[in-house]
Structure 1
Amino acid sequence: MKFALKRMLGAESFPYQGADLYHEIALSQKEAAAGVEKKIKYQRGKEKKKLVVKVPAGVTDGAKVRLKGMGLKGGNPGDLYLTVRIEN
C-alpha cells in the first residue's frame, strides 16, 4: 500500500524517539474505504512543516507508513512514522 506525500508549511509537535517522529492519522470508516488527503502540521526542530498525505482507498486500521528523512534533523535525519486509526 502506497501513500503519496506533498510538502507545505505549518507547525505541531509530535512524540519522538531519537530523531524519529510518530503520529496517528484518524480516519472515518468512509474515508478509509474511499481514500482521502489528510493535512498534518508539525515542528521539525526549529523548522515548521505541513504535509498533505494521500491515504489510498481500502486502508486498514493500524496500517503504518514510514516517511524517510522527514523526522528531526541533525546528524542522520530521522523518519516520520504514521499510523492509521479508523474511528467507529
Structure 2
Amino acid sequence: MASAITTLAADAPTLSAANTGFMLICSALVMLMTPGLAFFYGGMVRVKSSLNMLMMSFISLGIVTILWVLYGFSLAFGTDSGSLIGWSSDYV
C-alpha cells in the first residue's frame, strides 16, 4: 500500500515557474489587446455608435472567456482522439 502511494506521489506533475509565468504574460497581453481593438473599431464607426462598438468588444471578451472555461480547456488539454483534437468529460 505504501509503495502505491509513493508511486502516485512520484508521478504527480510539477509546475514550472517559467511556463506559468509565460502563460500569465501571454494572457495579460491578450487582455490588453482587447481595449486596443475596441478603440480601433470605435474609430471606424460614427460618433453615435462608438460606445456601442466599445461595449461589443468588451462583451465578446466575456463571452469568449466563458466559452473557453466551458469547452476550450477540455478540447485543448483533454485526451486526444486520433491526434486531432482532445476531449475529456472530466474537465466539463
TM-score scaled by structure 1? Answer: 0.23
More strand by share: 1
Which structure has the higher relative contact order (CA within 8 Å, separation 6+)?
1
